[in-house]
Structure 1
Amino acid sequence: MPINKEKRILVVGASIAGPTLAFWLTQYGFLVTVVERAPALRLGGQNIDVNGPARKIVQKMGIEAAILAQNTTEVGLQIIGQDGEVAGEFPKEASLTGTRELEILRGDLVRILYDCSKKHVDYRFGDSITALEQHPDEVSVMFASGKTETFQLVIAADGVRSKTRKLMFGDEPQFKSLGLYIAYMTIPRQENDNDWWRWYTAVDRRVLMLRPDNKGTIRASVAFLEDNRATHEKRPTEEQKSVLKTKLAGAGWEADRIRQAIDGTDDLYFDEVGQIKAPRWSTGRVAMIGDAAYCPTPISGKGTTLALVGAYVLAGELSRHKRHEDAFAAYEKLMRPYVEEVQKLPPGTPRLVYPETKFGVSVLNRVAGIMASKPVQKMVGLFSSDPAEEENKGIDLPDYQ
């Protein structure tokens, strides 16, 4: 398709939503620039999965095989009891499981999306936008590098802490905290590690998780609830490490191992968990997608899916409509019900799975053991959807090509 030079689009953020949007826009002839604050691709991160309607999109993009080839090797979910025993086991083939077929490290998916889009996209690393000024026919963009350029449209895809969102909407979108904090890091693999996702619940509302990867290391995460909102995500890295060490004290299981590995890790990510509930996703010639627009939290397991689906839909609607206002309206009309459904968390989340007492932890583990039993798994399987039907669940994806 010939390039439409009258439609220069700037995409902010080179994680998952941004490169996916760029890929599809270039398929429709748009001239796309992606700007990323980091000096190179940010390849860190934990296990994510590509499921539901997102799988259809990666099939359309021709990258499903590449994703399968980068599988994390995870074989399923184990709930670890208070004495280190396996309280419940959910293989990835089971009806109830947290592991999917398209399980991949975030960084590996970022690389795949970049590789499939870079030929036709102008990627600029180590720069960011500092100001936006909308005009009737274009948007003036001021960059930290000192450049000023004009684009017909600007799309924010720079994550839950999006700085571009604030330039576009001020303080309008609201971050809805769940009172939960989570830290991710990579630690050395040991001989006693296995290829299960191991989930351990400690007293005082703490959860530790160890997950395998395909790099010969282990992805560890530490999550905890706090009644009073803190600002851990704004602390310097060394202070964040100190907070985590304090939280891990006396937690049991592999807590001491994680504590000892914290000082040596160079990819610590520590943030407050919440949802972005934005009343609108566009204004004039600017819009947003992915976590910047509608982060559902890692608890939902649907952040990657929303990023891929939102990018596909927005690009498709821009190709379908001559007026960007109509495209933005159609994008929101199709995506908003799906996003709202995904953002509905089970009642009591996350407090129910972060018990305070030893008794509460015991009850939680006992329930997990019951759910993992063969009779329950078999019963659930009788009422589960066919995998092919599951791919279409949630949203009816248009075929834009």
Structure 2
Amino acid sequence: MTRTVLVSGAGVAGPSAAYWLHRHGCSVTVVEAAAALRPGGQAVDFRGEQVKLLGAMGIADEVRAHETAMGDQLVLDRAGRTAFTVPARFISGEVEVLRGDLARILHDRTRDYTEYVFGDRVTGLAETADGVRVTFRHGAPREFDLVVGADGVHSGVRAVAFGPETAFRRELGYHFAGFTAPNHLGLDHSGLVYSEPGRSAMVASNREPGTVSVGLFFRGDPRGYGRPDRRRQQELLAEVYAGSGWEIPRLMRAVPDAVDLYFDTVGQIRLDRWSSGRVVLLGDAAWCAGPGGSGTGLAMMGAQILAGELAAAGGDHETAFARYERRLRKPARVGHKNGAGSAGFLVPATPRAIGNRNRGYRMMTGPVSGKLLDHLGYRAANAVRYREYRDRVAS
């Protein structure tokens, strides 16, 4: 009998789960709170074992056709001069693509055999003798054999099945805002990083020469700013970056017109278990690591492992969920370790910390220490090895 699975989240983890679950004979419905796929977003990269996964999914060529082709990134000092250069292979891996492009590729790959429901979300989960009765904000209640929460760091499925986010979240001590702005710097597949104590800006060109992706990292209220509306987000950014040097004032003038402004605290999700009965979490909903934690690649690897273990266990979800978690716990810890150290690079707190970062990375990016940088870049990506599971249906 074909298993029915509800997947919450149509970003990257959700459609990846739909792909692999279908290959193992499941009928999948994906529900997404947004009205449509979200375009743009920050770049995500793949390397090592994760590149094998792209090939196994049959999307490697299309991902490469949309890669950002980013070059090196220059980290600047307070005078706007180059302090050190971060090689492209460290920042962008073997292939890098915008998150929105990747989501569209995965959606297109799965839409012929997956039911996608946009503009709705899970509001209730009630386990029955042989399934889960799911209630939605808008749609009628439905019953599924299993539910996968792949709906990101602020997972609604996790909140319903496990409890409030505050119980599982560890803040990393800084905040992030991202948006697209005009490319007044004339960057061509390259990036710049500028830091002042407690606040930084990363500006990078990619496939659209007229625009740049801007990432703002800043320390602020350690309790976070909650979930402010767009107007308050703009006010907070203006307050935080008031008096900044370099090109910050011109970048800030682009904020009011940015249609893709994203604003959030940066933190990690840590749970003692990733499943509860017939409900299981995947990706950031289960183990969000933060920047540098190889989150996108690990979420896609996790989707393949989750579906494969369900097939290998003959549909015994308790056994499958336990095996899935055993395979991914160590890689998730590696990602957490990488992410926990991200603040020192992205947003040094003091002038001394900025100087120490610059000196340290100048040494690491030199010809003698290049292998160390490669090790750091591949450590999280190769923490879990790609392993094939036998398919139940044609892909």
Same fold (TM over 0.5): yes
Distance 1:134 1:141 in 2: 9
Correspondent of 1:397 among 386, 390, 395: 386
Task: Provide structure 2 residue ranges, at least 5 long, that are not aligned to the other structure.
Answer: 391-395
Shift of 1:81: 1.4
Q: TM-score, normalised by structure 1?
A: 0.90
Distance 2:96 2:144 in 1: 36
Q: 1:399 to 1:392 in 2, by over 3 A?
A: farther
Correspondent of 1:38 among 31, 34, 38: 34
Q: Answer whether contact 1:31 1:121 (CA < 8 A) is retained.
A: yes
Query: What does 1:90-109 correspond to in 2, within 5 Å?
Result: 90-92=86-88, 97-109=90-102
* Deviation per residue, 1:67-95 (Å, 9 max, x gap): 111111311221111111111113325xx
Residue type of the alignment partner of 1:86: T
1:214 equivalent in structure 2:
207
1:113 aligns with 2:106: yes
Q: Answer whether contact 1:78 1:89 (CA < 8 A) is retained.
A: yes
Q: Answer whether contact 1:87 1:368 (CA < 8 A) is retained.
A: no
Distance 2:256 2:346 in 1: 28
Shift of 1:309: 1.0
Distance 2:249 2:343 in 1: 25
Query: What does 1:2-401 correspond to in 2, within 5 Å?
Result: 4-5=1-2, 7-92=3-88, 97-171=90-164, 174-190=168-184, 192-203=186-197, 205-216=198-209, 217-226=211-220, 228-231=222-225, 233-298=226-291, 300-322=292-314, 323-345=316-338, 350-351=343-344, 354-372=347-365, 376-381=366-371, 393-401=382-390
Q: 1:273 to 1:154 in 2, by over 3 A?
A: same
Q: 1:230 to 1:91 in 2, by over 3 A?
A: closer
Partner SS for 1:350: helix
2:393 equivalent in structure 1:
none
Q: Answer whether contact 1:353 1:364 (CA < 8 A) is retained.
A: no
Distance 1:384 1:145 in 2: 48
Partner SS for 2:367: helix
Which has the larger displacement, 143-152 or 280-289?
Answer: 143-152
Q: 1:215 to 1:260 in 2, by over 3 A?
A: same
Q: 1:156 to 1:253 in 2, by over 3 A?
A: same
* Superposed CA RMSD: 2.2
* Deviation per residue, 1:179-200 (Å, 9 max, x gap): 2100010001125323222111
Q: 1:145 to 1:357 in 2, by over 3 A?
A: closer
Q: 1:382 to 1:345 in 2, by over 3 A?
A: closer
Aligned length: 386
Which 4+ residue blocks in structure 1 deviate beyond 6 angstroms?
A: 389-392
Shift of 1:355: 3.2
Distance 1:29 1:76 in 2: 43
Q: Answer whether contact 1:50 1:103 (CA < 8 A) is retained.
A: yes
Shift of 1:237: 0.5
Task: Provide structure 1 residue ranges, at least 5 long, that are not aligned to the other structure.
Answer: none
Percent identity reads: 36
Q: 1:245 to 1:148 in 2, by over 3 A?
A: same
* Deviation per residue, 1:129-185 (Å, 9 max, x gap): 111110120111111124011100011000000111111112385011112100010
Residue type of the alignment partner of 1:63: I
Q: 1:365 to 1:339 in 2, by over 3 A?
A: same
